Amino acid sequence: MMHLILFGPPGAGKGTQAQLLVDHFKFLHLSTGDLLRGEIAAKTELGLQAKKFIDAGELVPDETVIGMIKNLIDRICTVPGVIYDGFPRTVAQAIALDNMLTECKEGITALLSLEVPHDELVKRLLIRGESSGRTDDADVATIENRITVYGEKTQPLINHYTQLGKYHPIEGVGSIEEISTRLINKVKTL
């Protein structure tokens, strides 16, 4: 089974491209936000644990999220692959995910990183803010902070997967179809 991390800064188009990869390859799209909401709605043990943290305004601990991912991986042996969206975000999360997958006799195939210039990200996010009403995409200062935080928090993750030979930068500028074609062609080579 392929395990692909779709990666990129806010505004890179991860959600759009993840769905296109899912449609093309019949992969499972694993969004940690969706996974958390599903576990909470199903009132699983891990979901109830997560709800306590969320209700207290705290981040759900890595081990709880990893447990949810492991439970899902154990149930989905029929899909050809998984696209991770929004996870991992730190080296500690990447190591925990790597360890969990190793226990399942699996591993991360690649980190596919959508590379988009700073000015293009700001432009995309402002447009998305106007059309979606998302307040975090409507203010330039907020956008700049999100991009800065992404850079600070994620560079170590890129370094981690580069050292493992699994980091693959993908040009994230062009039409949706052009970017999708680049991603699909890269996945076919893996």
Q: Which of 26, 52, 134, 153 is catalytic?
A: 134
Tokens of 105: 């006799």
Residue 75 annotated as catalytic: no
Token pair, residue 21, equals 């990869």
- Say which residue the tokens 């949706």 belong to: 176
Token couple for 121:
């990200």
Is residue 124 annotated as part of the catalytic site, yes or no? no
Note the Cα 166 to chain centre separation in Å.
15
8 vs 136: CA distance, rounded Å: 17
What is the distance between the alpha carbons of residues 93 and 55, in angstroms, rounded to a whole number? 22
Q: Give the strand pairing for 167-171 and 110-115.
A: parallel
**Active-site residue flag, 89:** yes
User: Of the listed 70, 89, 182, 186, which one is catalytic?
Assistant: 89
Residue 146 annotated to the active site: yes
Whether 37 is a known active-site residue: answer: no
Instruction: List residues with catalytic annotation.
Output: 14, 89, 128, 134, 146
